[in-house]
Amino acid sequence: MTPWTVVRDGSRLIWRFVKMHPVAFSIAVFGAAMFAAAILASALVIGWITDNVIIPILDQGQEPDLLPIAAAAIIGVAAFKAVGIVLRRTAAGWLQSGTRRDVRNELLAHQLSLKMSWYNKQTIGDLLAVADSDVNQGTGVLGPLPYATGVTMLLIGTVSMISLIDPWLGVSAVVGLVAVIAIDVHGSWVTYGMWEEVQEGRGRVSSIAHESFDGALTVKSLGREHYVSGRFREASEALRDRLIEVNSTWTKYQVIIRALPQLLIVLLLVVGAARIDAGAITAGNVVTVAYLLSLLAFPIQLIGFVLWDLAGSLAGWKRVQAVFDADAHIEYGERAATTDGGAAAILGSAVDFAYDTEPVLTGLDLDIAAGTTLAVVGPTGSGKSTLSLLLARLWDPDSGQIHLDGRDLRTFAGSELPKEVSYVAQDAFLFDTTVRGNITLDAVFSDADIATATRLAGATSFIDELPDGLDTELGERGTTLSGGQRQRLALARALIRKPRLMVLDDATSAVDPSVEAEILMALKSADLPSTIVVVAYRPSSIKLADEVVFLDEKRILGHGSHIELLEASPGYAQLMQAYEKEARRLREEAS
Amino acid sequence: MSTDYTTGTIIRRAFMEAPVLRHGLRLTLFMAMAGQAITVVTPIVIQQIIDEEILAPTGIDMSGVLQKAAVALVALVIGVVVGRVALLRLVKTSSSGLSDLRSKTFGHIMRQSVLHVQAERRGTLVSRVTSDISTLQEFMEWGGIGLIVGLSQVVLATAVMVIYEWRMALIALGGVVIYLMMMRWFQRILAAKYDEVRHEVGVSLGVMSESISAIPVVRAYGTEDTTKARVASAMEKRFRVEFTTGRFGNILYSTAEIFAGILTATLIVAGVLIGIDQGMSAGTLVAFLFLTNLLIEPLQIVVETLEFAQSAASGLRRVIRVLDDEVEIEEPSDPEELRPGGLSVRFDHVGYAYPGGPDVLTDISLEVAVGSRVAVVGETGSGKTTFAKLAVRLLDPSEGAIHIGGVQAPKIPLAHLRDRVAFVPQEGFLFDDTIANNVRYGRTESDDAEIWTAFHELGLGEWVDGLTDGLETRVGERGGSLSAGERQLVAIVRAWIGSPDLLVLDEATSAVDPVLDVALRHAIARLTEGRTSVTIAHRLSTAEGADEVFVFDGGRIVERGRHRDLLKLNGTYAGLYADWASGTNSV
């Protein structure tokens, strides 16, 4: 980063924003120009009043005839300035808030179009920080931007006016102002890197706090509060040091910027005195110039603020841009869903898949007849969840294809495949809305449909016990419900859509075993228009399936009924009988 | 405990909690004001140059101009340097003080009982140690300095005005008072509007956060469009409120400009009128216009800063509230250490209710002898987990008493208690670190060899060696790259390495892969061997092997005894057992 790149990248960023709301920006700049003009006008008026009212009356004893005009002029200029301020600030507010709104909408739309492979590499906390504080910081420069644009006009106006009054005064003013801006740019460049570090430090403090509060039960049960507090203190102190560093640099520049206008006034007075002495200008001229510069003392600092904000904005925007730059878009075809075709058959051929480099599935072939209830069984890490994610096209195979009723999943248009396939994960995500809203997800379903779905999912009885039944608000992430209850709601959400393929990835793991068996029984006997694929651990559940595939060593090692596999596949038998063996061992031990 | 948090109270409290904040504060304030005072010399000298040199009837004396200019420059340089030193001092003390306050607040939250940390939304607690403190920090660095510098500038400008011409000063001051009153009034109107803005900001963030977390579900159900629409409508609402509030505030504040104009005009008129009678010079009047400018500019800053101060004060108030929350699990005032060796547990008529809620546990009396293995069973919501938390003093009972190793639980120093007693919660929480470092939470001084041995002793050597990086494998956020069962494995090794004398274990409810489950059960068996252990059992096979089983129902112990005898009762336990057994038969 050089001072030049801060200016260049900053201008590009500003241009991107201005393009989004050109009208608001123009109005804001117009307001700022009015404001600038008002400041110039007020200096002129003061100079004129000094020359034509104050000095003649007080020093030369003239009559105060012009006094009312002087007063009216000052108030008139102030009113003009007030209108400028309202225009500028209001339009700047539209520009900044509107840009934030648009960028956030764009961000979400972009994230929704990206593949899970990208999403999985992010932490949710980070993505939220990007959508919230990084967008705020990235657009921070928009607040003072119109003002600064106005101030720039003001400066140009001032310098021109001073030059008109006297070229020598003009040259001194130009030299002074260029010095101020050069110092601002330099300071902005120096602090840019420091701000990045401060943001990192903030992120670290926040993530340690998040993690520690999240794991509070564990921390406290291990008596490690002091250790965790020490870790937090370290991060907090690192942040403190960075803040002190950046602020001490900032203050160094700030005092210079504050002092320079005063310095300029003194300089101009000296030059002005010499020019009066030479008979080139009047005393009123010098007073005008001096007053002009005293009014500029604060606006000049504003150019500094914009450049500082620009450094901060660039640092924040870098993280926003990183999300926009992710281009792992899902590719969709043109196909529309066929929702009334009844249960669908599945054919997977030569499917390879890896999350990174380590293969999870290799050369997997799978043939499921329409209407089958299939259990997927296998030890931890055998790829069961991966297979279910592939069937719902949350991920795509690296090679090979998966067909639903002879149609490759990738040929479906966006949002079409979910009309035929419902996927339920182990970790049931509930929205901060009612039970009903969580089941329908804003689609239209009749109460009878909802009743059927909740009954099949074994959720009716606990929903009835909630204070407002289906209309009970569940709160953030549905934390008022137990894990098993959440899973049953997620199941009802899938069932109500009458999918042609339903994929349940360990979706009833937190439900009591007898209830789980009841649910699976109900699903089987309900005559659903669905093929059902269930990832399950409990033998009781697996026994209910029409067919079982046994997944191990990254492929399918057996496919048949539970009884057939028990005989044919030693690995399968070993897995299924593990509980019984353990129970037998304990019983022997006890007796 | 006082619930009255006036601004004065919270500021005093902040100084008390973070004494560094007060460190050298007087000198800093003095320097800030001195710096400002010296800079005021410059406009005075400027006035003199104008009055005595430029407007002098005898013509301009350049050497006089230069002399005075030199004085102005020297004053400026000294003022600026002193001012900067003051700023720097303030930045240092505020950064250090607020970092201390942040660490202290964090430590206080960590000392709160588990109940507290879990009940409040975590995000809210995190913002206590992040954004609330940051607001304070920003206020102290920008606003605080602005306030000090601005106020001293106001005071000095006023003083200079009074010295020059007291009648004019009176007019200026009267104007300033009206101006300030106007601003106060505007602020009060705006404060209500800003509450609305904050509310919409909160709502829009909530919607955004939920949508991002729900991306997999959104994808699976094809609800991209409704999700986008939901976020867009929340964002639009927020934008509308932000914009209209901003517009309203701008119109209010712009009247201040008009007011400043009226004040300047009044001063000119008054100055001229006074001047005609009393011989006030043109230079003095011009200087007055400069001084008025010098007065109004910081006033605007001071007013804006006061607004900022309000949000900083409410942040500080929230922080102080957290610090004032009592630590429910307190260190004993008359500590009593546990004797070495195995530990017993005794509950005497213990009851527990969450604040304002119904009883979770009622009249629990039981004794766990040294070295015995006890199982607690019951349906979801029967109070088992609360019982476990009471047994390790993560909660204190609302009624009755608990003794550990014969000592009243509240008398045992907490660090000592945690050293001797281990609790393995249902969800083994893992930190985003390596496996070895996660185990080390159980005993900080363990080296890698000890940790490796521990895995092998528990029969988990094969599992850990099979991981890509062995002990150095990173487990991801919340242990996300391991399965639930594997996380439980690490939690068990973590408990084992601390070699506790009492173990309380809350079995995971979720089904895990049977082979892993068996490994887990072996490890648990090794861990409980020869130790006093209380297991909250979801797998009823645990109860089969226990010395005694306590059956909980509706917060009470309804049955107790050995597995075999309990089965014969054909009551609650027999029902639970039948349910469990139905889930595990493979044929």
Which of chain A's residues have a Cβ under 8 Å away from the Cβ of B485?
A: 380
Final residue in a domain of this structure, among A294, A325, A356: A325
Q: Note whether residue B340 is domain-resident.
A: no
Q: Which domain holds residue A564?
A: 346-590
Domain boundary among A325, A360, A391: A325
Contacts of A583 in chain B (CB under 8 A): 541, 544, 584
Q: Which residue has the tokens 């906390």?
A: A125
- Is pLDDT above 50 for B2? no
- Among A435-449, B238-252, B293-307, name the one with the lowest average pLDDT: B293-307
Quick one: which of A370, A388, A383 has its CA closest to A494?
A388
Residues in chain B closer than 8 A to A417 (CB atoms): 222
Specify the number of domains making up chain B: 3
On whether residue A340 sits in a domain, the answer given is: no
> B381 pLDDT exceeds 80?
no
CB contact under 8 A, B216 and A394: yes
Residue of B nearest to A207 (CA): B126
Nearest CA to A171 out of A263, A264, A257 is that of A264
Q: Which of B21-35, B41-55, B171-185, B186-200 has the lowest mean pLDDT?
A: B41-55
Query: A521-572: per-residue pLDDT in tens?
Result: 888 888 888 999 999 878 878 888 899 999 988 889 899 999 899 899 888 8
Q: Which residues of chain B have a CB within 8 Å of the CB of A586?
A: 541, 544-545
pLDDT digits (tens, 9 = 90+) for B42-95: 777 877 877 777 777 777 788 888 888 888 888 888 888 888 888 888 888 889
Residues spanned by the domain of B176: 166-279
CATH number where A354 lies: 3.40.50.300
- Is residue A10 within 8 A of residue A310, CB to CB? The reply is yes
Q: Which of A295, A325, A355 is the last residue of a domain?
A: A325
Mean pLDDT of chain B: 84
CATH of the domain at A196: 1.20.1560.10
Q: Is residue A13 domain-resident?
A: yes
Within a domain: B175: yes
Q: Which residue of A has its CA nearest to B274?
A: A58
pLDDT band at B1 (very low <50, low <70, confident <90, very high): very low
Give the residue from B241, B254, B493 with the most A CB atoms within 10 Å of its CB, the best one to mutate: B254
Q: Could you tell me if B430 and B466 lie in one domain?
A: yes
CB atoms within 10 A of CB B8: 8
Whether residues A321 and A414 fall in one domain: no
Residue A453 falls inside a structural domain: yes
Q: What average pLDDT does range B278-285 have in this prediction?
A: 77
How many beta-carbon pairs under 8 angstroms link A with B?
Answer: 469
Mark whether A105 and A251 lie in a shared domain.
yes
**Tens digit of each residue's pLDDT (9 = 90 or more) over A205-215:** 888 888 888 88
User: Quick check: is B450 in a domain?
Assistant: yes
pLDDT band for A582, please (50, 70, 90 cuts).
low
Cβ within 8 Å, pair B222-A254: no
Collect all residues of chain A within an 8 Å Cβ-Cβ radius of residue B209: 128, 131
Q: Which residue among B79, B262, B428 sits closest to A75, beta carbon to beta carbon?
A: B262
Query: Tens digit of pLDDT for each residue in A301-335?
Result: 777 778 878 888 888 898 899 999 998 888 899 99
Q: Domain for residue A455, yes or no?
A: yes
User: Nearest-CA distance from A411 to chain B in Å?
Assistant: 15
Percent of chain A topping pLDDT 70: 96
pLDDT tens across A70-115, in order?
999 999 999 999 999 999 999 999 999 999 999 999 999 999 999 8
Residue in B99, B206, B235 closest to A236 by CB: B99
Q: In the Cβ-directed half-sphere of A448, how many Cα atoms lie within 13 Å?
A: 0
- B174 and B158 in a common domain: no
Q: Which of A100-114, A115-129, A245-259 has the highest mean pLDDT?
A: A100-114
Q: What is the pLDDT of residues B207-249, one digit of tens each?
A: 888 898 888 889 888 889 999 999 999 999 999 999 999 899 8
Point out the residue among A74, A258, A419 whose CB comes nearest to the CB of B222. A419
Q: What does the pLDDT average to over B417-429?
A: 87
Same domain, yes or no: A272 and A350: no
Same domain, B310 and B351: no
- State whether B156 and B192 are in the same domain: no
Amino acid identity at A125: G
In a domain, A331, yes or no: no
Same domain, A371 and A289: no
Residues A305, A417, single domain; the answer is no
Question: Can you give the pLDDT at residue B583?
Answer: 64
Residue B43, domain CATH: 1.20.1560.10
Q: Same structural domain for residues A244 and A374? A: no
Residues of chain B with Cβ-Cβ distance to A577 below 8 Å are 586
The answer on A135 and A28 residing in a single domain is yes
Within 8 A of B45 by CB-CB distance, chain A residues are 266
Is residue A408 predicted with pLDDT exceeding 90?
Answer: yes
Q: Closest CB to B265: pick one of A74, A108, A127.
A: A74
- Is residue B586's pLDDT more than 60? no
Question: CA-nearest residue of chain B to A72?
Answer: B265
Are residues A169 and A301 both part of a single domain?
A: yes
pLDDT digits (tens, 9 = 90+) for B538-574: 878 788 888 999 999 989 999 999 999 999 988 899 9
**A417-433 pLDDT tens trace:** 999 999 998 888 888 88
Reply yes or no on whether the pLDDT at A352 is more than 90.
yes
State the Cα angle at A323 between A317 and A325, rounded to 5°: 95
pTM > 0.80: no
Taking CB atoms and an 8 Å cutoff, what residues of chain B touch A579? 514, 517-518, 541, 584, 586
Residue B297 lies in a domain: no
Percent of chain B at pLDDT > 70 equals: 95
For residue A297, name the pLDDT band (cuts at 50, 70, 90): low
Helix, strand, coil fractions of chain B, as percent rounded to 5? 65, 10, 20
- Domain-located, residue B289: no
Nearest chain A residue (CA) to B45 = A266
Cβ distance of A583 and B217 shorter than 8 Å? no
Q: Quick one: A135 and A216 in the same domain? A: yes
List the single residue in A with minimal CA-CA distance to B439: A222
Q: Which residue of B has its CA nearest to A98?
A: B239
* CB nearest to B511's CB, from A509, A581, A589: A509
A320 in the same domain as A351: no
pLDDT (0 to 100) of residue A66: 85
One domain, residues A199 and A320: yes
pLDDT classification of A454: cutoffs 50, 70, 90: very high
Chain A residues in contact with B142 by the CB 8 A cut-off are none
Report the number of distinct structural domains present in chain A.
Answer: 2
User: B129 and B26, same structural domain?
Assistant: yes
Residue B295 lies in a domain: no
* A332 belongs to a structural domain: no
| Residue, of A12 and A426, whose pLDDT is higher | A12
Q: Of the segments A392-396, A475-479, B274-278, which one has the largest average pLDDT value?
A: A392-396
pLDDT at B388 over 80: yes
Return the SS3 of B115: helix
CA geometry: angle B170, B172, B176, nearest 5 deg: 110
Instruction: Provide long-range contacts, Cβ within 8 A and 24+ apart, for A434-437.
Output: A434/A468, A434/A470, A434/A471, A434/A472, A434/A473, A434/A474, A435/A463, A435/A466, A435/A469, A435/A470, A435/A471, A435/A472, A435/A474, A435/A489, A436/A470, A436/A471
The secondary structure element, H or E, covering residue A547 is strand A547-552
